[in-house]
């Protein structure tokens, strides 16, 4: 092959330099135009085919009623707040207000749309984790406590609000405690409620692909702030024929069992004595409900 002359080499160098300059100009123009803001779409109108963006309502649960979180994974829904435990794929606690005003409203139709919680950053359990396990998807925040509007009801069906419960427990003594709690909320006008699984003791097992912990029991802590009264319950995750008040205890006892500090912003100083007191007479139960539980609910 013949050797190229010096003039040919000079032409190649010139063309290469010109190409580099043009490429640089093109790259600058691309960056300039791609960084410009796109045109904003007008608000969606009915029949326009656009999807309307609906903002999530502001959370209504006061921070002052929240326990301490061992995980730091706080999830604030509109009408209840929870602390999620990724290790156990369920909430370590849920907290909310239960009022006479809300309970006396006309109840909306009960939902049944169990679904993962989109606000759990590490992803919550799924309905499939419970399928074929033999355990109920037990509500921590009862659906009936949130039946005052559709949004409140729907939020209770997030899987972050579920925990594996023995069927006769969920529909038996746990149901009785939930119904009594609503009675007490009507009586005292307002309750602060904190509920959760016992995760500090040996589990009954795990279920599903997500390995959801099956707790050995559950707690419920109730504070009537206006009457300065408190009570707590610890119930084993099993069918029970015992009277409900046999499971009543103090907040202090539940704190020792779970390692959770309840109402740290509300019960401090002189109010701390309320955590160690228990006056069962202030929390009346309906014995007819107990009889119905033993004869009907336990065997369903």
**Cα distance between residue 21 and residue 193, in whole Å:** 70
Handedness of CA 119, 58, 108, 218 (dihedral sign): positive
**Cα distance between residue 157 and residue 112, in whole Å:** 7
Catalytic residue, chosen from 77, 88, 139, 228, is 139
User: Is 88 in the active site?
Assistant: no
**Cα distance between residue 92 and residue 160, in whole Å:** 10
What is the set of active-site residues?
139
């Amino acid at each position: 092959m013949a050797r190229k002359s010096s003039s040919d080499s000079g032409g190649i160098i010139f063309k290469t330099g010109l190409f580099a300059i043009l490429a640089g100009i093109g790259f600058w123009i691309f960056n300039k135009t791609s960084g410009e803001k796109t045109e904003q779409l007008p608000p969606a109108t009915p029949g326009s085919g656009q999807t309307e963006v609906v903002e999530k309502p502001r959370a209504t649960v006061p921070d002052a009623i929240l326990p301490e979180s061992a995980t730091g994974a706080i999830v604030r829904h509109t009408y209840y707040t929870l602390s999620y435990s990724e290790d156990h794929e369920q909430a370590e606690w849920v907290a909310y207000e239960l009022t006479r005003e809300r309970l006396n409203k006309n109840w909306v139709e009960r939902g049944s749309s169990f679904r993962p919680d989109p606000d759990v950053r590490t992803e919550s359990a799924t309905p499939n984790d419970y399928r074929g396990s033999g355990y109920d998807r037990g509500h921590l925040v009862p659906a009936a406590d949130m039946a005052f509007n559709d949004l409140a009801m729907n939020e209770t069906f997030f899987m972050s609000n579920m925990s594996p419960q023995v069927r006769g427990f969920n529909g038996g003594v746990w149901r009785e405690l939930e119904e009594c709690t609503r009675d007490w909320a009507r009586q005292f006008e307002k309750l602060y409620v904190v509920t959760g699984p016992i995760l500090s003791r040996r589990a009954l097992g795990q279920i599903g692909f997500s390995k959801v912990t099956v707790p050995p029991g559950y707690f419920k802590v109730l504070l009537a702030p206006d009457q300065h009264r408190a009570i707590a319950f610890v119930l084993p995750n099993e069918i029970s024929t015992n009277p409900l008040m046999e499971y009543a205890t103090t907040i202090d006892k539940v704190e020792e069992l779970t390692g959770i500090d309840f109402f740290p912003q509300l019960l401090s100083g002189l109010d701390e004595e309320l955590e160690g007191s228990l006056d069962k007479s202030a929390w009346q139960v309906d014995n007819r409900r107990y009889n119905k539980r033993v004869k009907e609910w336990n065997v369903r």
